Amino acid sequence: PEVCGAVPETHRFNCYPEIYVIVTRSLCESRGCCFIKMPLPPPGKGGVPWCFYPPNFPSYSLDRLNKTGLGFSGELTRKTKTYYPKDIERLELNVTFETNSRLHIKITDSTSPRYEVPIKVPQVTERATDPIYSVEFSKDPFGVIVRRNSNGLVLLNTTVAPLFFTDQFLQISTMLPSQYLYGLGEHQSGFLHNFEWNTLNFWARDIPPMENSNLYGVHPFYLVMEPGGISHGFFLLNSNAMEVALQPAPALTWRTIGGILDFYIFMGPDPSSVISQYLEVIGFPMMPPAWGLGFHLCRWGYGSSNATWHIVKTMRNYGIPQDAQWNDIDYMDGFRDFTFDSKKFATLPQLVKDLHNYGQHYVMILDPGISSTQQPGSYPPYDEGLKRDIFINTTDGKLLIGEVWPGKTAFPDFTNPETHQWWYESLTRLYQQVPFDGLWIVSHFFGGEGSMHSEPQNSLKHNAVLSGVKGGSLRVKTICASAKQKESVHYNVHSLYGLMEAKATASALKKLRGKRPFVISRSTFPSQGRYSGHWLGDNRSQWKDLYWSIPGILNFNMFGIPLVGADICGFSGSATEELCVRWMQLGAFYPFSRNHNTQGEQAQDPLAFGPLARSAMKEVLLIRYSLLPYLYTLFHRAHIYGDTVATPLFFQFPEDITTYSIDRQFLWGRSLLVTPVLEAGVDSVIGYFPKGVWYDFYMTVPLPSSHWSSKLTLGCGAVGTNAGKNCILVSETPSTTTWMSSGNPMQLIVALSENATANGDLFWDDGESLDTYETSNYSYMVFNVTQNTLTSTVLHVNVEATFIIVDKVTVFGVKRQPSKVTVNGKEASFSYLPNQVLAVSNLYLKLSDGFSISWI
């Protein structure tokens, strides 16, 4: 009727989200909703919902609201049942003013406990003293409104659509202050999300990345740029299958099929602060070992340890940097975990020893499926696992058997602490033969549909379709949702599998090696950055995948997993020489840099093509290696402050709206801008350079011989509060491993801001010991330029820094040729290059002593 027609199209909230149903007037009206038929959208696209909530659709009312020591508590009740089963009629609301920039809201069943995600979040005991936000409530229908105090902007308004809280369908909607929304992973999409009735699904899935599908990881977090260059973030702490519907109002709807509504809002106000506030809740990322930041080489199908070894030796012969050699599942004996093929990979132990002799490292793959078909007594991981009850059970409490690479398999239940001990012991047996340094894990690779047991026809299933998890129901390529795990039914913990497995793996590596663990996982969940990095999955050797990798790495930096990269040159398909060179030139700037290929395709390692390609790849890797002190410091900052390593341009230029959609360029930290070539047949690239000063990095280092190079610029001239921040980079003379490079002389690269200022820092330690920051076994210096003087101030020092000298300082943006340069008060020779570059070379400054350099 009239109320229906009065709802603007953009504000129609879908009352019939089931994807496999064509909604009719009678179906819609049976739900008490408005029905207005609209033109069908183009195939694969969403359109205005035909069935939507009228303004007076029954929701909860706020019956009681009390001020508490931390914020508010209240009770919500629903008097009218919804059209889904098992409404929870009384809900408890808790609103906590956790910090001045972080608000926490939790809505749950007030009478019986429900499943909650078992990750550790901060417990506050005092209310924030001076919050930069305020909260109001709408009583009937219930809604929460959150405002930013400085300008009154409404960041959250949940009164726009009814709240649902049934046993297996929870829904909450909000208006958004803009369509500049980022995050919501893991999906293959451009950097910015499409608001034209776009639905994104969340349910960890083993599937090669494709558009419009839920992928390996689940990250229910978004960041929004508000008008005026400020931003906020939102995190829904829930691990059930869910979806987010975006519509042009702009508005957003969360739908989840279990758990509770537990969410955090982060007020920034700048985007970098939003991320560090988010990471304060889920945990800051681990500090990776230095070697993890070197170049990694892998492929599926080397076929033997000798063939693998041959590659390593040839890489060395050509002087191409390489820190780690990897093997995929072909090293295993019958694809069984914790084994290696005693014929084809007979020399694996020697290969690993040889890598170690050269300061290189070895990483191997592990699957979660444990073969269940070996003779009893011949495969301890299974026998032991059975004995210790660490496998996942079926609904009726029997051992659950699925199928993966080795055939029939049981699956370890990583929600059980006992499983972590069993995983460690199983790894120990392998480690005694093959002393690997790192592990990469894939989760949820379960061949076929569900487990070998049929899924019971119970209510767990019905909402799977409702949630519209794409590509089929919840059971595609995984075990059935009703399977039993120690923590809870698989239905609740499915998307946590990768997180728990990563946690067990990192802990095992720590015990085995006594050093920082190196784990790369395909499946991820919030807080996983504490244990592992991530690779972006089974992409293809195509130009468009080269581009997709940039939004991918930027998203994972926002998700708190900065150690991330895509398979360089593409996993499936064969890369052409040109594509592979371009990909190496981009991949040399992935925080995690690994070239990886599938079996049966042409080789794509740096040795696979002609001499020109080989030298182009070597040159760009040497640039990466020269910048390792800077990269390492960025990881330290991520670990301590929650900074991003690969940073979107708009983080540094939030006032410049043009940067909001840039996903073909990115920064390392705040100042080094990478502008890669992403297209075939060109030898130049057009980038966007926001207002400020930009310096060509190649002005002082030799330009790579071929014109095949990513453009590198130092953008330290950002205007406003970011000016000059982190604009002093430390580089080192590169060798072919991070270990060999680590004692080499260092150089300071200074990029002056418009006001001739700059600052930066360096974190340095032995690169692999555990908790060096936490145990104060590190060196840390800060660098400053003001009034034509560069100062190095040593704030902390350990033995490492005493071996290292600084042999060169380059200053970009010195406007006039100086008449004199002094180093620690003594006159020194210098050169002044065209383009305003001052270089002071042949220095012999101890890194562990402070120093100053002035020019007049």
* Residue closer to ligand NAG, measured from CB, 514 or 610: 514
What are the tokens at 746? 């260092």
Q: Are 263 and 163 in contact (CB under 8 A)?
A: no
In angstroms, what is the minimal distance from the CB of 831 to ligand NAG?
Answer: 26
Show the site string, 769-808: x = touches ligand NAG by CB under 6 A, - = not.
x-------x----x-x-x----x-x----xxx--------
Q: How many positions of this chain bind ligand NAG (CB under 6 A)?
A: 43
Instruction: Work out whether 134 is an interface residue with ligand NAG (CB under 6 A).
Output: no
Cα separation of 349 and 155, whole Å? 57
- Smallest separation (angstroms) from ligand NAG to the CB of 347: 5
Please tell me the distance from the alpha carbon of residue 219 to that of residue 497, in angstroms, as a whole number.
Answer: 14
Q: Could you give the 3-state DSSP secondary structure of residue 47? A: coil
Neighbours of 426 (CB within 10 A): 21
Interface with ligand NAG (CB under 6 A), residue from 14, 59, 101, 188: 188
Binding flag, residue 135, ligand NAG (CB under 6 A): no
Quote the distance between the C-alpha of residue 762 and its chain's center.
24
Q: Output the six-digit token pair for 72.
A: 């508010």
Q: Which residue lies nearer to ligand NAG by CB, 56 or 841? A: 56
- Shortest CB 840 distance to ligand NAG, Å: 19
**Helix (H) and strand (E) counts for the chain?**
17, 47
Tokens of 385: 């696992």
* 138 burial via Cβ count (<10 Å: 0-12, 13-18, 19+): middle
- Which two tokens mark 634? 């960025």
Residue numbers 474-493 binding ligand NAG by CB under 6 A: 484-486
Of the candidates 14, 59, 99, 157, which one interacts with ligand NAG according to CB under 6 A?
157
Closest CA to 440 of 527, 352, 522, 557: 522
- Cβ-based burial of 38 (10 A; exposed 0-12, middle 13-18, buried ≥19): exposed
Q: Are 143 and 159 in contact (CB under 8 A)?
A: yes
Cβ proximity to ligand NAG: between 426 and 485 the closer is 485
Place of tokens 């430390």: 730
Closest to ligand NAG by CB, 501 vs 765, is 765
145 binds ligand NAG (CB under 6 A): yes
206 versus 765: smaller Cβ distance to ligand NAG: 765
Task: Provide, rounded to whole angstroms, the least separation between the CB of residue 427 and ligand NAG.
Answer: 21
Q: Does 226 bind ligand NAG (CB under 6 A)?
A: no
Pick the piece of the chain touching ligand NAG (CB under 6 A) from 366-374, 531-539, 637-645, 740-748.
531-539
**Residues paired with residue 785 on neighbouring β-strands, in sequence order:** 758, 790
Question: Which one, 88 or 662, has the nearer CB to ligand NAG?
Answer: 662
Binds ligand NAG (CB under 6 A): choice among 7, 154, 701, 833: 154
Closer to ligand NAG by CB, 330 or 765: give it: 765
**160 scored as a contact of ligand NAG (CB under 6 A):** yes
549 binds ligand NAG (CB under 6 A): yes
Neighbour-count burial of 828, counting CB atoms closer than 10 A to its CB (0-12 exposed, 13-18 middle, 19+ buried):
middle
Selected from 209, 259, 269, 517, the binder of ligand NAG by CB under 6 A is 209
From CA 140, how far away is CA 170, in angstroms rounded? Answer: 18
Residues of this chain, 381-440, that bind ligand NAG according to CB under 6 A: 389, 393, 397, 413
Going by C-alpha positions, the residue among 745, 810, 744, 765 that lies closest to residue 783 is 810
**Least Cβ distance, residue 346 to ligand NAG (angstroms):** 6
Choice between 126 and 774, CB closer to ligand NAG:
774
Which of these segments, 84-92, 699-707, 736-744, 765-773, binds ligand NAG (CB under 6 A)? Answer: 765-773
Binding flags for ligand NAG, 726-755, as an x/- string (CB under 6 A): ----------------------------xx
- Residue 175, classed as helix, strand or coil, is strand
Nearer to ligand NAG, 507 or 791 (CB): 791
Phi-psi region of 704 (alpha: psi -120 to 50; beta: other; left: phi over 0): beta
Q: Is 812 exposed, middle or buried (0-12, 13-18, 19+ CB in 10 A)?
A: buried
CB 810 within 8 A of CB 729: no
Q: How far apart are CA 117 and CA 837, in angstroms?
A: 54
Instruction: Show the binding pattern over residues 554-593: x = contacts ligand NAG (CB under 6 A), - = does not.
Output: ------------x---------------------------
Query: Pairing state of beta strands 261-266 and 102-109?
Result: antiparallel
Tokens of 95: 């609103």
Within residues 690-729, the interface with ligand NAG by CB under 6 A covers 723
**Min separation Cβ 247 and ligand NAG, Å:** 13
- Helices 543-558 and 577-587, axial angle in degrees (round to 10): 10
100 binds ligand NAG (CB under 6 A): no
Rule CB under 6 A: which residues touch ligand NAG?
Answer: 145, 154, 157, 159-160, 188, 208-209, 304, 306, 347, 389, 393, 397, 413, 484-486, 536-537, 539-540, 545, 548-549, 552, 566, 723, 754-755, 759, 765-766, 769, 777, 782, 784, 786, 791, 793, 798-800
